[in-house]
Amino acid sequence: PFSLANVQGDVLFGLPKQTEKFMFFRIDEVDGFRTNLTNLIPLITTAEQTKGNISEIRQTKARIGISTLEGDGETVHPAVVTVSGVNIAFSAKGLSKIGLTETIGDSLFQSGQRADAEGLGDEGTGTGSSYQPKWDADFLQEIHGVALITGDSHETVDEKLKSVKDLLSGSIKELHTITGDVRPDDQKGHEHFGYKDGISNPAVDGVDSLKPGQATIDQGTALFGRGADSSKSRPAWALDGSLMVFRKLSQQVPEFDKFLLDTAGSQAGADLMGARFVGRWKSGAPLMISPSADDAVLGADAERNNDFRFVRNDQSKCPFHAHIRKMVPRGDSLPDEELKKHMILRRGIPFGPEVSEAEKTSGTTSSERGLLFVCYQTNLADGFKLLQQGWANNVAFPPGSSPTPGQDPLIGQTKDESPRIITGAFANDTSKPLTLLQHWVDSKGGEYFFTPSIPTLKNVIAK
Ligand code: N7H
């Protein structure tokens, strides 16, 4: 029977986090690793524990009068609740190193993300098997696994990471560790362009309660062997696992702000154009409900901020190209039942420092920042890969939109960084084209991972 105690916490709820470290590793000594893993398993945070942690954080915050953030798990206010989480996941190469050679039945996972770089539109040179993506060297080497460590402070996370490394020592080589941080003060819960993130994730059938406007997805879209996925042929050890996509996406924030201001001519115009790119204002308020001005009360209201649908072939309120419309075109031409098969559970966190005064003034990035993008699904071709390649990069998506929308202005990619033409950017003339000479989000690499169930970790991988 299905139990939250069998699933890793980040998959179903998102580990609560103020900060998060991703420790990428290579398995050097297989037997030693499998033995060490036995001792690590008690540290792994289950979905059941995560659910408990989130409710404890919410209760504590309510008691001391701190507003809670809905959405992607729960950010932890430092010094409110000391909490940390640990999850672990393996690449296809990692699984085969351990000896799990039976394939999980997802060919994209099997080949790894590097093989997808060209198709995804990640900048690079060459073609086909000689494609060289401009990725960080860290992601061009063979990665076997990743440990996710979350917590309320760097201190808590560093201490936990040390325990994890001590337990695995001698059997792995730490390749590199990346730190993500929730942004400070009033930017908490907002990504680096300034837009509130983590508002809209689907509810998993039988797991989550529903908010107005939220879609419910089949359990099998999130977990192997459940719901509709139970009819697929999978190895027994896949049950209650999920596929995790990791992507390091750098964001050029001062350049983005400068482009909007230069193009729109005023701050108010820039704010509107930026909101049109996203489909939401910085507060999170959706354009479909508040098309001409931000509404902070609406943005903060989880009962209303996700309760809308787009109107087919109508972009008077929200452009076809808007990021949230490209990613979840609810109400557009795809039937809801079809759309639900393409929903992902997003668990990202921003990385890098706040924009400095010097960067603001010059309109040029000097310190790298962006999003450590993480999402879960059971089918990469129906999930992340389709969303990035088939929808964000596809100038004609959503189908039946006229005039042609162009790419998602935020995450749409062309591997040669060529100019992109979009329509719908100007509220007063939605057919007027706009040429985007630059990209403001660049992929620095990543990998596809399998996040096993707790029983699989215990009984199959550890020994
Ligand atoms: Fe996106 N952003 O700040 O513009 N995203 N995203 N994303 N995204 C969303 O509704 C952003 C990326 C999705 O259900 C919001 O929760 C940035 C990738 C999906 O209506 C904002 C980056 C992919 C949704 C951003 C980035 C997606 C979504 C609104 C990269 C998949 C839910 C907040 C640096 C391939 C849509 C919210 C829905 C929402 C931003 C990446 C997918 C503000 C900056 C790579 C499915």
Per-residue DSSP letter, 226: S
Q: Per the structure block, which two tokens stand in for 194?
A: 């300034």
In a domain, 208, yes or no: yes
Same domain, 76 and 54: yes
What is the Å distance from ligand 1's center to 320 Cα?
15
Give yes or no: 262 in active site.
Answer: no
The whole-angstrom separation of Cα 33 and Cα 379 is: 28
Write out the H or E segment, with its range, that includes residue 47. helix 47-64
Q: How many structural domains is the chain composed of?
A: 2
Using CA atoms, how far apart are residues 212 and 307, in angstroms rounded to an integer? 5
The residue behind tokens 């460590």 is: 149
Q: What's the rounded Cα separation, in Å, for the pair 252 and 256? A: 6
Residues 452 and 431 in one domain: no
Indicate whether 325 and 239 sit together in one domain. no
Predicted ipTM > 0.90: yes
Evaluate whether 450 touches 241 at the Cβ level (below 8 Å).
Answer: yes
What phi-psi label fits residue 244: left (phi over 0), alpha (psi between -120 and 50 degrees) or beta?
beta
Burial class (CB in 10 A: 0-12, 13-18, 19+), 332: buried
pLDDT for the residue 80: 63
Whether residue 265 sits in one domain with residue 193: no
Give a yes or no: residue 85 inside a domain.
yes
Assess whether 175 and 261 both reside in one domain.
no
- Say how far apart CA 23 and CA 381 lie, in whole Å: 26
Q: What are phi and psi of 208, to 5 degrees?
A: -105, 155
Q: Say yes or no: 221 and 296 in one domain.
A: no
Q: Would you call 174 helix, strand, or coil by DSSP?
A: strand
Give the count of beta carbons closer than 10 Å to the beta carbon of residue 400.
Answer: 12
219 shares a domain with 255: no
Atom 14, ligand 1: residue with shortest CA distance: 200
* Residue 190 placed within a domain: yes
pLDDT per residue of the chain (463 residues) written in tens, 0 to 9: 999 999 999 999 999 999 999 999 999 999 999 999 999 999 999 999 999 988 888 888 788 877 655 434 455 555 567 789 999 999 999 999 999 999 999 999 999 999 999 999 999 999 999 999 999 999 999 999 999 999 999 999 999 999 999 999 999 999 999 999 999 989 999 999 999 999 999 999 999 999 999 999 999 999 999 999 999 999 999 999 999 999 999 999 999 999 999 999 999 999 999 999 999 999 999 999 999 999 999 999 999 999 999 999 999 999 999 999 999 999 999 999 999 999 999 999 999 999 999 999 999 999 999 999 999 999 999 999 999 999 999 999 999 999 999 999 999 999 999 999 999 999 999 999 999 999 999 999 999 999 999 999 999 999 9
- Which ligand 1 atom minimizes the distance to the CA of 71? 16
> Quick one: 264 and 232 in the same domain?
no
Looking at 122, 181, 197, 408, which residue is catalytic? 197
How far is CA 63 from each of CA 60, 185, 440, rounded to the nearest angstrom?
5, 20, 40
Are residues 429 and 330 both part of a single domain?
A: yes
Residue nearest to atom 12 of ligand 1 (CA): 411
CB 347 within 8 A of CB 376: yes
Distance in Å, CA 41 to ligand 1 centroid: 32
Q: What token pair was written down for 93? A: 């190469």
- Cα of 5 vs centre of ligand 1, distance in Å, is 29
Domain enclosing residue 340, as ranges:
251-345+354-369+389-444
Helical H runs in 65-174?
92-98, 107-111, 117-120, 154-168
Q: CB of 216 within 8 A of CB of 303?
A: no
For residues 358 and 12, give the distance between their C-alpha atoms in angstroms, rounded to a whole number: 40
Give yes or no for a contact between 376 and 244, defined as CB atoms under 8 angstroms apart: yes
**Any domain includes 285:** yes
Residue 380 falls inside a structural domain: no
Query: For the purposes of burial, counting CB atoms within 10 Å of the CB of 34, is it exposed (0-12), middle (13-18) or buried (19 or more)?
Result: middle
* Whether residues 129 and 15 fall in one domain: yes
375 located within any domain: no
Q: Quick one: 90 and 66 in the same domain?
A: yes
Residues found in the chain: 463
In a shared domain, residues 42 and 189: yes
Q: Is residue 376 part of a domain?
A: no
Neighbours of 350 (CB within 10 A): 21
pTM of the model: 0.97
- For residue 192, give the 3-state DSSP assignment: coil
Looking at the domain assignment, is residue 378 inside a domain? Answer: no
Using a 6 Å CB cutoff, which residues line ligand 1?
Answer: 191, 193, 195, 197-200, 249, 251, 278, 280, 323-324, 327-328, 344, 346, 370-371, 373, 384, 387-388, 410-411, 441
